[in-house]
Structure 1
Amino acid sequence: MSEDQSSGKRKSNPFTIIKDDSTDGHGGYGAGTISLENMSSVIVDPNEDRAFVDMGAMHARSEVERRVKFLPNKDEVPNGKLYWIVWVTVEKGENGPYYAGVAGSEIRVDRSIKRAYKSMPQHVTHMEKSLKGKIILEHMDDHSKKLLRDFLVDFNEEMWNNSTDELKEVLPE
C-alpha cells in the first residue's frame, strides 16, 4: 500500500487519460468522454517549408503557440505568420491503418509583439470533425496542402495508400 492509501487519504486525479474506448456502455467513471489516443497534431509551417508532429498542440502548447498571447481577432495580428495545426486521426481499416480524419486550423503568430490569433471554436470543431473521420482542408493554401501531403506520405506511405480517395483528391500531388 502507498502512504496515501494507508493513511486513508485518496489521491486526487485532476487529469485522466482514458486509454480504452469509453463508449462501451458501462456508464462508469469516464463515461461520456472521448479518447484522443488516435489523434495527432501536425504543424504545417509554410514560412519554413516544413511539417512536423507536435503533440503539445493538443493542450495549446505547441512550439508555435508558446510565449504568445492569443487574441480572438485576426485584425489585431496583421503581421502574423501563418501556421496550420492539422488534426489527424488514424483508424484501422480492412487493409490496415489509414488517415481517417484530417482537419486544418489556422493560427497567425507575430513574435515581435508576442501576439497571435486563433479561433478556439474552430480548433475544437476541427478536432471533433477529425475524430469523426471528416476531411476539412479546402480552406488551406496550396503550398501548405502540399507540405501536409508530403509529410503524411513520408511519415507512413502505407497509411497514405490506405486512405480515402477524398483525402487524396483534397491533397493532390
Structure 2
Amino acid sequence: MQKLGLTGQSKQPHASDDQMKGISAVLMDGDEIFIDNNAIHAKSRVELGVRFVGSLEEVPNPRRIVGLWISLKRFENGMGFNGVQAFEMWIDSEAQLGYKKLADHVNAMDKAVKGKADLSLLSPEQIEKFAAFLRGLRPDLWENASPAFREAFSAA
C-alpha cells in the first residue's frame, strides 16, 4: 500500500497495516462457510461486482450474509484465536446491489484486533456452525483461544 505524502503527523495512535495482518474474515452465505480475507478490503467473492447503496430498501431481493472478523494472538500455550466480531451485509447478486454499514465493519475489525468478542448479530445456530467450522479448521487455535473468544462461543 502506498503512503500518502502528508506534511503533518498525527499524534493519535491508529491501526496500521501491520495490525491488520493478524485479522481474517470468515463468511457464511446460506449453508456455506468459507474464509475470504479479501473482505478486509471489501473485495470478498460475494462483494465483487456489487454496487453498495445507501439503504437496505434499495436492494430488491437481499440475502443476509454474516461474517466474523477474527484476530490471532500468541498466548502462553501458543497461537490462538483472540478477538471475534460478527458483521453482516445484504446482497442481491442478480441485481448486483448490496447494503452494508461500512463504519460498522471498520469498527468491528478494530474491536477484533483489540481482542474484543461480540457475536450478538448471530443466531445460536449460526454461532454453532461457525464454532464447528473454526474447531475443524485449526483445533490448536481453538484450544488456545482467549477467554473472551471462548465466552462468545459458549452457547456453541
Structure 1 length as normaliser, TM-score? 0.76
2:42 to 56, 60, 64: 60
The DSSP-based 3-state class of the residue aligned with 1:106 is strand
Q: Which amino acid aligns with 2:28?
A: V
Q: In structure 1, the residue corresponding to 2:21 is in which secondary structure? A: coil
Superposition RMSD in Å: 2.1
Q: State the shift of 1:116 in Å.
A: 0.6
Q: Would you say the 8 A contact 1:102–1:130 is kept in 2?
A: yes
Following superposition, the deviation at residue 151 of structure 1 comes to 1.3
- The answer to whether the 8 Å contact 2:83/2:148 transfers is no
Q: Which residue among 14, 26, 33 is the counterpart of 1:42?
A: 26
Alignment counterpart, residue 108 of structure 1, candidates 90, 95, 104:
90
1:69 has 2:57 as partner: no
Contact persistence 1:39–1:90 (CA under 8 A): yes
The 1:90/1:121 distance shift into structure 2, 3 A limit, reads same
Q: What residue in structure 2 maps to residue 80 of structure 1?
A: 62
Q: Which residue of 1 aligns with 2:120?
A: 138
SS at match of 1:113: coil
Q: TM (normalized to structure 2)?
A: 0.84
Counterpart AA for 1:148: F
Aligned partners of 1:144 and 1:79: how far apart in 2? 21
In 1: Cα distance, 2:104 partner to 2:14 partner: 22
Report what 2:108 is aligned to.
126
Letter in 1 for 2:136: D
Greater displacement, 108-117 / 122-131: 108-117
Greater relative contact order (Cα < 8 A, sep 6+): 2
Instruction: Find the aligned partners of 1:144 and 1:77 in 2 and give their Cα distance.
Output: 23
Letter in 2 for 1:105: F
What is the distance in 2 between the residues matched to 1:74 and 1:158? 39
Q: Which residue matches 2:2?
A: 14
Q: Which amino acid aligns with 2:22?
A: N
Matched residue, 2:145: 163
Report the structure number with the largest CA radius of gyration: 1
SS in 1 for 2:86: strand
Total equivalences in the alignment: 146
- Partners of 1:66 and 1:151 lie apart in 2 by 24
CA contact (8 A) 2:87 2:121 kept: no
